[in-house]
Amino acid sequence: MLATIIQNLINALQWGSFYALIALGYTLVYGVLTLINFAHGDIFMVGAYIAFFVATFMLSAAGLPGWAALALTIPLTMILTSMVGVTLERVAYRPLRRKGAHRLYVVITALMCGLILEHANLALLGASRKAFPPMITEHVYNIGGVSFTNLKVAVIVSAILVFILLQWIVTKTKVGMAMRAISYDKFAVPLMGIPMDNIIVATFVLGSGMAGLAGILFAMSYPILEPYMGALIGWKAFIAAVVGGIGDIRGAFLGGFLLGAVEILVVAFFPSTFRDLIAFTVLLVILAFRPTGLFGVAKTTKI
C-alpha cells in the first residue's frame, strides 16, 4: 500500500511537471502584459513537433549518438520554439497593442493564433501521428516496489530547475526588474528609458522557451505526437496558473503540481470518470476561498 502511494506520488510529480512548465509560460506573459496567451498550449505542441524534427535530423541525418543528439536538441528546440512565440507576439499581439486595442481583442487574437497553429500543423503534416524517436535508453529502477526511470527523474528535476531559474531572473536581474516595472505601470516605464518592446520580447522568449522544453520532455515521456496534443493540456495548465495566482511564478509552479497530483490521485483511488469532476471541484473550492489564487494578491505587484 505504501509503495502504491509513493508510486502514485512520483507519477503525480511527473505529470505535474508538465502542467507547471506550461503554466509558467502563461503566468510570465500575463504578469507583464496582463494578456492571457491562449496560444501557449499550442506553442507547447509546436515545441514537441520541433523537437521531433530536430531529434530525427540529429539521429538519422547527422548520425549522432543519442546523448549528443539530446544535448543539441534541447537548446535548439528551445531557441526555435521561442522564435515561434516571438513571431506570434510580433505579428499578432504587437500591432494590436500599438493601436491601443482593448485586452479582450488581444485574448481573442491569441485564441485564433492557437487554432491557426493547430490547423496549420494538420494541413502541413497530415493527421497521422508521429512517433518520437527514443534518444536515451530508459532504465527502470525499482526500490521497494516503487518503479521510476531516469527520464521521470529528469523531468521532475528540470521542472524544479526551470522554476528556480525563472524565479531568479524575475526577482534578481535587471530584465526581471523591468518586467515587474511594466506590470506596475505601462506608461511610466518607457519614460524611464526602459525599452519596453525588448522586455516584452524577452518575456515571450522565456515563456515559449519553457514551453519548448516541456514539449521535448513530454514527447520523450509520451512519444506520440498529434496536432491537438497541446489544446487540452494548455487549458488545464492555464487553470493551474490561475489557481496558483496568475502572474506569480511560485503560483504557476505550485498550481501545476497541485493539479497533477489531484488528477493522478483521483484516478488512483476512484474510477477515471471522476478525475476531472473531482480535480476541478477542488480547484473551484480553492478559488472560492482565495479568488486571486494561492499566491495572487489583488491589485498589487504581479510577477
Q: Nearest distance from residue 104's CB to another protein, in Å?
A: 29
- Nearer to another protein by Cβ, of 217 and 249: the residue is 217
User: CA–CA distance from 14 to each of 7, 52, 139, 254 (Å)?
Assistant: 11, 20, 16, 13
Shortest Å, Cβ 71 to another protein? 22
Q: Is the Cβ of residue 131 or residue 188 nearer to another protein in the bound state?
A: 131
Q: Which three cell numbers stand for residue 261?
A: 497530483
Nearest approach in angstroms of CB 10 to another protein is 8
Instruction: Give the nearer residue to another protein in terms of CB position, either 103 or 119.
Output: 119
Our CB check for another protein shows the closer of 44 and 93 to be 44
CA distance 117 to 96: 19
Answer for the pair 42, 234: CB distance below 8 angstroms, yes or no. yes
Query: What is the nearest approach in angstroms of another protein to the Cβ of residue 266?
Result: 8
CB of 249 to another protein, least distance (A): 24
Within 10 Å of residue 146's Cβ, how many Cβ atoms?
Answer: 16
The C-alpha atoms of residue 143 and residue 122 are separated, in whole angstroms, by 43
CB-wise, 138 or 197, nearer to another protein? 138
Residue among 151 and 205 whose Cβ is closer to another protein = 151
Please report how close the Cβ of residue 156 comes to another protein at its closest, in angstroms.
Answer: 13
Q: Kindly tell me which of 87 and 273 has the beta carbon lying closer to another protein.
A: 273
How far apart CA 173 and CA 246 sit, in angstroms, is 21
In this structure, are residues 303 and 199 in contact, taking their beta carbons and an 8 Å threshold? no
What is the binding site for another protein (CB under 8 A)? 3-4, 7-8, 11, 14-15, 122, 126-129, 131, 134, 138, 140, 142, 147, 149, 151-152, 222-224, 229, 232-233, 263-265, 267-268, 271-273, 275
CB contact burial 164-195 (16+ within 10 A = b; e otherwise): eebeebbeeeebbebbbbbbeeeeebeeeebe
What is the 8-class DSSP label of residue 38?
T
**Helix %, strand %, coil % for the chain, to 5?**
75, 5, 20
Judge contact between 263 and 277, C-beta under 8 A. Answer: no
Minimum distance, C-beta of residue 286 to another protein, in the bound complex (Å): 21
The secondary element (H helix, E strand) that includes residue 146 is strand 146-149
In whole angstroms, what separates CA 175 from the centre of its chain?
A: 20
Q: How far is the CB of 233 from another protein (least distance, A)?
A: 8
Nearer to another protein (CB atom), residue 40 or residue 152: 152
